[in-house]
Structure 1
Amino acid sequence: MIKKLLRGSAALALALTPLALTPLALPSPAAAAPSAGAAGVLALEDAVGQIPVAEESRQGYTRSKFKHWNAGLDADDGCNTRAEVLVAEAVEAPDVAAGCKLSGGMWTSYYDGQEVDKSGKLAVGHMTPLAEAWDSGASKWTPARREAYANDLDAEASLVAVTARTNRQKADKDPAQWMPPNPDAQCRYIAEWTATKLRWGLSADQAEADALKVFAEACETTVVHHTPAP
């Protein structure tokens, strides 16, 4: 079963090798900051600034153009993408029976802070919804890349288990149109939204970019971890 990385700040290690009689040259801020195409950790405001701003278009979109929930089906437990996320994000692990039947377990839906004890009450949502991804650049992708996006188990921010109610409320909205009702979740949400856009090279429209900047200013201690998708 694919395991997602634990949430939280990653430890950064810098190995410095001293050179005799050679002064240490510190990199400039521009040289130290990774680009959107490189893995890195950025302050939220800097990360938001790396998302390109462009007009969006939903022309030609259908959900079927993102083949989803099919990753992991060849594993021994038979769990698909949705079930993998549920198992990975449980605060108390559910039992997994043959055919990936889940029972028991406990989850916390961070959008609204609700505790949930039945997997059927949860939805697994795409951090950046499929329609929004289409608008922001995925319309130009190959079907294989859209499938990879829709089943991205390799980045913890890409998919999230939350109450079905909040996932319906979010629908295909961006942060200019919807934010989690739990105020304590909002900085994390903006960071994960930004990480997903950077990971997949997606753009933001002007209203979305403006909203991200406003939230980034309020979330001044929040950082963004992102790794470009293969």
Structure 2
Amino acid sequence: MITMMRRGLPALALAALPLLATTAPAGALTGTPAAEQPSTSYSPAQPPAGAPGAQVVLGLFDAIDRLPVAEEHREGYQRNLYKHWNKGLNSTDGCDTRREVILAEAVDAPTVAARCTLTGGSWRSAYDNLVVTDAGKLDVDHFVPLAEVFDSEQSPWTPERREAYANDQGSADTLIAVSAASNRSKSDKDPAEWMPTDGTYHCTYTATWVGTKLRWDLAVDDAERQALLGTAEDCAGTTVTYEPAP
């Protein structure tokens, strides 16, 4: 969660945004070329502030400095280590976590039929600044991808903690509904490798990435940290707000 609103847009703003009328081929939307990042000296990361359930607010640079720095470790990763999607928080709507996120982020609410079938509605895809009018053309992205989580665990998580992350509805930032093409362009890349094509979203994206890693006590590698610091140079006044996960 950051200081600017990420969820939804006023109805009048929709007319100014391009419509996603057809399914774009995967990879059609490409990430903004990464700018060369300056070399930055830094002090060792501090431990994440706050106890579970206690809200923490930090400036973006201070938040980045709290992230532990460690090499990534991919060996042994399998996507099915992170069980998703769960039943969802609302046991009466028949929707799993994925569909509940889609419902929560609708700009215009869809009609919900039996077995959580969604008809109509509209959504703003923050990664590429598109309006999507078909829920079937949305992906629900783990803001920090599951493979990146595995890379960044400071010690191996339990199956329960991995499942909790993969279905985290305790924060508005862990899961986000975006166009399928933008999500597949991102894949499992970190900010050193990929940024949204909508440049106006870069500060929000960086703050949300950092807040999600702090919420779940995840490390960053050196290249990732330098990329975060490089973007933060252009994000004066941006703050990071998060609650440590239980």
Q: TM-score range by the shorter chain?
A: 0.7 to 0.9
Where in structure 1 do 4 or more consecutive aligned residues deviate above 6 Å?
A: none
Query: 2:186 is matched with which residue: 170, 188, 204?
Result: 170
Give the 5 Å matches for 1:152-163.
152-163=168-179
Q: How far did residue 119 of structure 1 move?
A: 0.3
Query: 1:215 is matched with which residue: 203, 222, 231?
Result: 231
Q: How far did residue 90 of structure 1 move?
A: 0.5
Specify the code of the residue in structure 2 equivalent to 1:216. A
* Residue 44 of structure 1: aligned partner: 60
Q: Distance in 2 between matches of 1:7 and 1:102?
A: 28
Query: 2:5 is matched with which residue: 3, 8, 22?
Result: 8
Query: 1:224 is matched with which residue: 223, 235, 240?
Result: 240
Give the structure with higher Rg (CA). Answer: 1
Q: CA RMSD in A?
A: 2.1
Q: Distance in 2 between matches of 1:166 and 1:139?
A: 31
Q: How far did residue 220 of structure 1 move?
A: 1.4
Give the 5 Å matches for 1:60-99.
60-72=76-88, 75-99=91-115
Give the 5 Å matches for 1:96-175.
96-137=112-153, 140-175=156-191
**Alpha carbons 1:109, 1:115 under 8 Å: kept:** yes
**Alpha carbons 1:199, 1:228 under 8 Å: kept:** yes
Q: Distance in 2 between matches of 1:199 and 1:105?
A: 31
* Residue 73 of structure 2: aligned partner: 57
**Alpha carbons 1:197, 1:203 under 8 Å: kept:** yes
How many residues end up aligned between the 2 structures?
203
**Alpha carbons 1:65, 1:143 under 8 Å: kept:** yes
Q: CA offsets, 1:58-110, max 9 Å, x none?
A: 01000000001114177111100110110000011111112111111100001
Q: How far did residue 35 of structure 1 move?
A: 5.9
Specify the code of the residue in structure 2 equivalent to 1:93. A
Mark the runs of 5 or more structure 2 residues left unpaired by the alignment: 7-45
Secondary structure of 2:240's counterpart equals strand
Secondary structure of 1:141's counterpart equals coil
**Alpha carbons 1:138, 1:146 under 8 Å: kept:** no
**Alpha carbons 2:47, 2:68 under 8 Å: kept:** no
Q: Distance in 1 between matches of 2:154 and 2:79?
A: 12
**Alpha carbons 1:103, 1:118 under 8 Å: kept:** yes
**Greater CA drift, 136-145 or 168-177:** 136-145
Secondary structure of 2:163's counterpart equals helix
Instruction: With the length of structure 1 as denominator, give the TM-score of the two structures.
Output: 0.84
* Residue 219 of structure 2: aligned partner: 203
Instruction: With the length of structure 2 as denominator, give the TM-score of the two structures.
Output: 0.78
**Alpha carbons 1:45, 1:220 under 8 Å: kept:** no
| % identity of equivalent residues | 52
Mark the runs of 5 or more structure 1 residues left unpaired by the alignment: 10-33
Secondary structure of 2:115's counterpart equals coil
